[in-house]
């Protein structure tokens, strides 16, 4: 219902979002006034800044030659990734960093030519494994350190290892699918798992934490300190109730989402490299001291996009805050009724899944399928990657899970051939959802260590089939 601008127009110098402004009205709730402003101010089609040949990426910064990546910064030649940084020539990954030529990996980093690794680091030519560190040529392994030529944690000679690997023939779709299923099911029951993943952390409660200190109920965080109730954050300090923060340092923030490099900000959405903002959306490039603003760039002392003097701004802001306290709005995030998105087209569906009836009953919007995106596939994809010809890039494929159409692009086909991997039968969205099922929930349970029966917090529910160990017992079984 509001104007949407392309990248070139947003970053051009021939327009100014402060032309679309409003006066403060103390007779109306703040959120109602902000919503009215939302209907007038042009907004960026996708959050994609300083990128080259990466038009189809969102929450993207300083990327080159990337395609359908989301929340990715400083990457090159990557496809279908989510929340990652500094990767090159990688595909189908989640929470991933500083890796090259890798596929299907999650919560891992510094990998080379690896496929389906989980919570692993510094590995090369490894497949379908969990919690490997500095390993090479390992297949279906777990909890190994500095090992080479292992299958199911058993040592092989170099010659026997490659014979076994060749016999799996992962370039065949049927064989590869069977390996994925083993990795997702019976493999998970074969080796003990650690209660939570915390690496080099001090006084932290949560899971998937790296180099963090003093965190309470935080998940998927790196290099964060003194934060509470944070999810998916990098380099965030002294902040609370945050989501999707990174990869540039942020500090003293509350109730913000999708932001990077911000300081002293409250309830901001998708604002990058700014200071002292309250209730702002899509503001960039050193905006300072702004309140209730949208799509501003290099602005200071603005309220509802209207320019004020420093003295006027500092006099008016306390009055707005006091007004919001009286209406019960101050410190709260934007009401869901003002979201321009339907529930099932947002990432909320990935973490708190609802069906149509549940979503509508909760007051959310729901987007129906567009039937033109669900045409029947007539092209027969060969089972073996060696038999796939380049003409596949001209064909329309249909997802084997949801039926939605998708394409194979030329760079993607090159990637599959380079790693001897089959062409996927699922669309990128369903492949992403499949990866999400492999990650631990953002929740902790009270349970006992399977080995020593010590009471502990774990990211595994009591119903999970894995053998869950406390940190001390887990370290005792690492090879």
Task: Express each pLDDT in 326-368 by its tens digit.
Answer: 999 999 999 988 998 999 999 888 889 999 999 999 989 999 9
User: What's residue 301's pLDDT?
Assistant: 98
22-41 tens-digit pLDDT: 999 999 999 999 999 999 99
- On average, the pLDDT of the chain sits at 95
User: What's residue 14's pLDDT?
Assistant: 87
Mean pLDDT value across residues 169-190: 95
Confidence of residue 12 (pLDDT cuts 50, 70, 90): confident
What is the Cα–Cα distance from 406 to 109, expressed in whole angstroms? 28
- pLDDT score of 246 more than 90: no
400-457 tens-digit pLDDT: 999 999 999 999 999 999 999 999 999 999 999 999 999 889 999 999 999 999 999 9
- pLDDT score of 3 more than 90: yes
User: What's residue 419's pLDDT?
Assistant: 97
Q: What is the 3-state secondary structure (H, E, C) of 152-173?
A: CCEECCHHHHHHHHHHHCCCEH
83-141 tens-digit pLDDT: 999 999 999 999 999 999 999 999 999 999 999 999 999 999 999 999 999 999 999 99
Q: What is the pTM of this model?
A: 0.92
Q: Which residues pair with 6 in a beta bridge?
A: none
- pLDDT score of 49 more than 90: no
Mean pLDDT value across residues 388-404: 97
């Amino acid at each position: 219902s509001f104007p949407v601008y392309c990248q070139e127009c947003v970053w051009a110098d021939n327009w100014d979002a402060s032309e679309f402004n409003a006066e403060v009205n103390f007779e109306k709730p703040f959120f109602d006034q902000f919503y009215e402003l939302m209907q007038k101010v042009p907004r960026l089609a996708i959050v994609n800044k300083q990128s080259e040949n990466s038009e189809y990426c969102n929450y993207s910064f300083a990327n080159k030659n990337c395609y359908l990546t989301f929340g990715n910064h400083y990457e090159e030649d990557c496809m279908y990734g989510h929340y990652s940084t500094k990767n090159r020539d990688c595909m189908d990954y989640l929470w991933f960093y500083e890796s090259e030529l890798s596929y299907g990996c999650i919560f891992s980093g510094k990998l080379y030519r690896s496929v389906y690794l989980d919570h692993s680091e510094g590995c090369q030519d490894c497949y379908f494994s969990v919690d490997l560190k500095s390993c090479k040529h390992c297949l279906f392994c777990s909890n190994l350190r500095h090992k080479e030529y292992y299958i199911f944690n058993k040592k092989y000679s170099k010659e026997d290892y490659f014979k076994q690997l060749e016999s799996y023939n992962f370039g065949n779709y049927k064989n590869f699918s069977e390996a994925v299923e083993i990795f997702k099911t019976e493999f998970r029951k074969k080796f003990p798992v650690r209660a939570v993943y915390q690496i080099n952390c001090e006084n932290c409660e949560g899971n998937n934490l790296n180099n963090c200190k003093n965190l309470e109920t935080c998940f998927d965080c790196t290099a964060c300190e003194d934060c509470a109730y944070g999810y998916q954050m990098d380099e965030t300090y002294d902040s609370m109730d945050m989501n999707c923060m990174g990869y540039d340092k942020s500090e003293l923030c509350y109730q913000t989402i999708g932001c990077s490099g911000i300081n002293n900000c409250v309830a901001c959405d998708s604002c990058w490299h700014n200071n002292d903002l309250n209730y702002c959306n899509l503001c960039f490039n050193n905006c300072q001291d702004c309140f209730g603003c949208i799509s501003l760039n290099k602005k200071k002392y603005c309220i509802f996009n209207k320019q004020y003097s420093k003295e006027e701004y500092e006099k008016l802001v306390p009055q707005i805050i006091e007004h919001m306290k009286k209406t019960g709005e101050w410190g709260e995030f934007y009401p869901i009724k003002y979201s321009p998105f339907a529930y099932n087209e947002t990432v909320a569906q990935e973490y708190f899944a609802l069906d149509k009836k549940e979503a509508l009953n909760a007051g959310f919007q729901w987007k129906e399928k567009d039937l033109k995106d669900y045409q029947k596939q007539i092209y027969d994809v060969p089972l073996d990657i060696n038999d796939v010809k380049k003409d596949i890039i001209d064909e329309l494929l249909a997802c084997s899970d949801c039926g939605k159409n998708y394409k194979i692009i030329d760079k993607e086909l090159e990637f599959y051939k380079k790693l001897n991997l089959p062409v996927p039968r699922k669309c990128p969205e369903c492949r992403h959802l499949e990866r999400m099922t492999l990650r631990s929930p953002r929740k902790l349970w009270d349970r006992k260590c399977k080995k020593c029966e010590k009471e502990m917090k774990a990211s595994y529910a009591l119903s999970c089939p894995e053998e869950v160990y406390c940190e001390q017992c887990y370290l005792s079984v690492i090879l």
